[in-house]
């Protein structure tokens, strides 16, 4: 049984805890109300983050941002949307650095970026810019990754890779901030996150279905032409430096079989065009070799498709060597690393045009 002194102490502690809990709930309610009335909640200045009340306040600020993102999603804005993903990633890196006791301007400036995007989306408006600023004077690391993300962002395939692109950009800013403050050892993990995001975006672009053509008013007796474009990396089709039918790998044959099975209209296709590409690496120091290799690989793929049911009269093949690269990989050092970076450029594109009678 408690003594009077123990009971008094217990009631005092419980009273303080209840007061803190009610204060926290009241703060959250006030912050949500302020957010709804366009008074944007802000983090406590770094020099004042020294009390429990300040920490609780800042946690409720982050909760408000999460609630706003949740509400946008409930209204139909998908988390895979470029702007939604970017806002979420800005909130995430802000919270991560806050919890690591980053006393620089980075947590607040990252949250400001999220706020600018969320406010536009809440008002059913599109953010006026998709630029990703180097907040807190972050260093611009890995220009090759920035360039590849910009290429995808400017392409019709962005819809397929929007989340990876948005978070890859934010990860690069995060890495640059760590490098500026603490050096490469702290930046390295976030550069790795950005590299993974670019790899994911490249994979999503490679398997991206082309957007459907806009509806057009046509005469009732006019035929409809449908164009399908399929992209396959030659690393997945051929053995190294091979281009003949015997050089097709088991996995490569299975890939072509699967592609042919996914193109039921191709048997009635008006035309099928197979285009081969290589990377810019010149193995034998003869620029003509890459051209010949791309032509030979395209012809082998076309021949394989003919054997498996595509009409010979409607198919053609061509090689374009290192033209039209998907990635630039400028500044990449080391032959092995450069070869891996250039993998998306080594590809075969299969373009199928099908005419359907009205």
Residue 220 has pLDDT above 80, yes or no: no
Q: How far apart are alpha carbons 279 and 325 in whole angstroms?
A: 7
- Averaged pLDDT for residues 17-41: 47
Residue 298 has pLDDT above 60, yes or no: yes
> Which pLDDT band holds residue 212 (cuts at 50, 70, 90)?
low
Check if the beta carbon of residue 345 is closer than 8 Å to that of residue 280: yes
**In whole angstroms, how far apart are CA 267 and each of 72, 203, 355?**
45, 28, 11
- Averaged pLDDT for residues 12-30: 44
Residue-wise burial string across 158-178, b where 16 or more C-beta atoms lie within 10 A, e elsewhere: bebbbbbbbbbbbbbbbbbbb
- Considering the chain, what percentage of its residues have pLDDT values greater than 70? 81
Residue the block writes with tokens 């035309």: 271
Predicted pLDDT of residue 182: 94
Query: Between residues 14 and 61, which one has the greater pLDDT?
Result: 61
Residue pLDDT, tens place only, 118-155 = 999 999 888 877 899 999 999 999 999 999 999 999 99
Residue the block writes with tokens 């500026």: 180
- Considering the chain, what percentage of its residues have pLDDT values greater than 90? 49
- Judge if pTM exceeds 0.75: no
C-beta neighbour count of 342 within 10 angstroms: 20
Q: Looking at 33-47, 126-140, 245-259, which range is the least confident one? A: 33-47
Residue 6 has pLDDT above 70, yes or no: no
């Amino acid at each position: 049984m408690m003594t009077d002194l123990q009971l008094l102490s217990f009631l005092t502690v419980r009273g303080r805890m209840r007061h803190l809990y009610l204060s926290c709930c009241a703060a959250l309610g006030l912050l949500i109300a302020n957010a709804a009335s366009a008074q944007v909640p802000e983090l406590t200045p770094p020099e004042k983050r020294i009390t429990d009340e300040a920490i609780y306040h800042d946690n409720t600020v982050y909760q408000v941002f999460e609630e706003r993102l949740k509400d946008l999603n409930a209204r139909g804005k998908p988390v895979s949307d470029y702007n939604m993903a970017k806002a979420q990633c800005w909130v995430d890196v802000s919270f991560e650095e806050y919890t690591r006791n980053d006393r620089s301007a980075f947590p607040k400036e990252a949250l400001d970026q999220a706020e600018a995007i969320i406010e536009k989306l809440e008002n059913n408006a599109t953010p006026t810019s998709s630029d990703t600023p180097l907040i807190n004077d972050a260093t611009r690391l890995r220009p090759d990754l920035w360039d590849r993300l910009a290429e995808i962002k400017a392409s019709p395939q962005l819809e397929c890779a929007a989340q990876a692109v948005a978070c890859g950009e934010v990860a690069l800013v995060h890495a640059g901030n760590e490098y500026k403050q603490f050096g490469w050892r702290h930046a390295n993990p976030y550069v790795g996150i950005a590299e993974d995001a670019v790899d994911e975006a490249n994979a999503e672009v490679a398997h991206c279905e082309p957007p459907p053509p806009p509806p057009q008013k046509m005469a009732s007796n006019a035929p409809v032409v449908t164009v399908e474009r399929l992209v396959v990396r030659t690393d997945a089709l051929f053995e190294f430096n091979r281009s003949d039918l015997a050089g097709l790998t088991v996995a490569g044959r299975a890939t072509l079989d699967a592609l042919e099975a996914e193109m039921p209209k191709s048997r009635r296709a008006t035309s099928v065009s197979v285009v081969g590409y290589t990377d810019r690496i010149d193995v034998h120091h003869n620029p003509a070799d890459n051209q010949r290799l791309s032509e030979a690989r395209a012809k082998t793929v076309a021949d394989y498709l003919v054997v498996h049911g595509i009409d010979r009269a409607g198919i053609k093949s061509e090689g374009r060597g290192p033209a039209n690269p998907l990635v630039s990989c400028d500044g990449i050092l080391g032959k092995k690393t450069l070869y891996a970076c250039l993998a998306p450029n080594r590809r075969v594109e299969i373009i199928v045009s099908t005419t359907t009678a009205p």
